[in-house]
Structure 1
């Protein structure tokens, strides 16, 4: 029987990533293909959040590398009866990353006009990584190794995780509710986060400490947090019929 969320160990408080160090880790791409999570069966549900919000350049599915796909299926199968996994985002086109970064930065600048450029960049990067197509240091979501997920009940209703997905507030930090005095609702949120965190980490994922929903497998951020010498995933692109024909006829 799966463990009850209430007896799961606490989520550790991890520091923010050292981005320059993470971005300097070498990448030896293993060539895994991108797969749509819509192929997966219950208890996985796919809700491409950015597409549903109408953000320009999004696609109406969540693509991930094959190794990530298989690990997510294992996560879903490990959850207690009546609990499912919702995939909210995976591989992200560069233009979507740029849109998210620019939009959040503008919102922070409007709310905090006293911030200088460096501080504004740091605050933005807390929740959205710098857009990059650099083969040596790509944005995590551009690799297909980063994924955003949450939990749901048996009929697909998302569990209470304390904040909304992509909410840029301190309460979104994964370990925010790991404190002594909590009310009943906060304890429930803490237990839900513990369940998601432990299920994902057991299958090899690492978590971005500022986002309870963001996990990595195979990319530079994963290598950084797991102490590995290199990443397995570099920049990836969806296969198109045009690219396929060019390869076949080239």
Structure 2
């Protein structure tokens, strides 16, 4: 348990699953062209899940084609995360960012991975069936157009992260209740809040409180969580606006972060 008075709000996931790509971009916002910065310069721990080559990055167990070993985010977003990380130090924990800016090439590599996994599971599946299967995991990058806000993956905005918590003293991950990138009902952020309501767990359960700590800390800087996955958080992009409208009833009309090209000095796995 942590000394915070906080509960994760319960969410109607059917509303969260509504499309967000129709939300327009505010291309006149001064933040629209804000630069990407290296998270290392903000003392933000980063370990690219998609670039790992030691086999520990389930479900891939290999580096994904196009993945990067360095982490990049929009400057204002990185500044917010640095303040969040400092706040978490008082609990002897810190953020561990596992995915930040994601290149289109990496998105294509992930698409190919899940497409092939679906084909192996169902060898007789049609291309349309495989497309629908793969869409259950990520946005289709095959029709990517940097000028079309309906076509780009959200991580290509530089304003989305996938993140867990770890202990500062030894680097061990906190128990969040399900594995990172586990696509299951248990990964829904409010899962243990519902378990508590149903009497299936007690109010001292570490999984409940670890999720509360992550969710609370992110909310202090106005970030939103995609409630389907406890690890995904946004600021200023299309998902951020959709979640704010669902959770709070109001949000800006347009996102200020859209697709941004890779830094020229990127490092590929």
Do the structures match in fold with TM over 0.5? yes
Cα separation, 2, equivalents of 1:107 and 1:186: 39
* Corresponding residue SS for 2:40: helix
Say whether the 8 Å CA contact 1:140–1:219 is kept in structure 2: yes
Deviations 1:96-151 (A, max 9, x none): 11222332244345546898877765554444233234432221001101111110
* Aligned: 1:99 with 2:109: yes
Match of 2:69 in 1: 60
* Corresponding residue SS for 1:177: helix
Match of 1:176 in 2: 191
Deviates more, 1:213-222 or 1:93-102: 93-102
Cα separation, 2, equivalents of 1:102 and 1:60: 19
Deviations 1:142-169 (A, max 9, x none): 1101111110112221111122211222
Match of 1:219 in 2: 237
* Corresponding residue SS for 1:35: strand
Runs of 5+ consecutive residues of structure 1 not aligned to the other structure: 242-250
Cα separation, 1, equivalents of 2:136 and 2:6: 27
- Compared CA separation, residues 159 and 17, structure 1 to 2 (3 A): same
Match of 2:158 in 1: 144
Match of 1:164 in 2: 179
Deviates more, 1:146-155 or 1:161-170: 161-170
* Corresponding residue SS for 1:160: coil
Which of these residues, 37, 40, 47, is aligned with residue 38 of structure 1? 40
Deviates more, 1:125-134 or 1:29-38: 125-134
* Shift of residue 193, structure 1, vs aligned partner: 0.9
Say whether the 8 Å CA contact 2:48–2:69 is kept in structure 1: yes
* Corresponding residue SS for 1:231: coil
TM normalised by structure 2 equals: 0.77
The number of residue pairs the alignment matches comes to 235
Alignment of structure 1 residues 183-194 onto 2, 5 Å: 183=201, 187-194=205-212
| More helix as a share of residues | 1
TM normalised by structure 1 equals: 0.82
Runs of 5+ consecutive residues of structure 2 not aligned to the other structure: 54-62, 245-250
- Compared CA separation, residues 71 and 101, structure 1 to 2 (3 A): same
* Aligned: 1:128 with 2:138: yes
RMSD: 2.7
Which of these residues, 206, 225, 233, is aligned with residue 224 of structure 2? 206
Cα separation, 2, equivalents of 1:174 and 1:111: 28
* Shift of residue 94, structure 1, vs aligned partner: 0.8
Cα separation, 2, equivalents of 1:122 and 1:207: 24
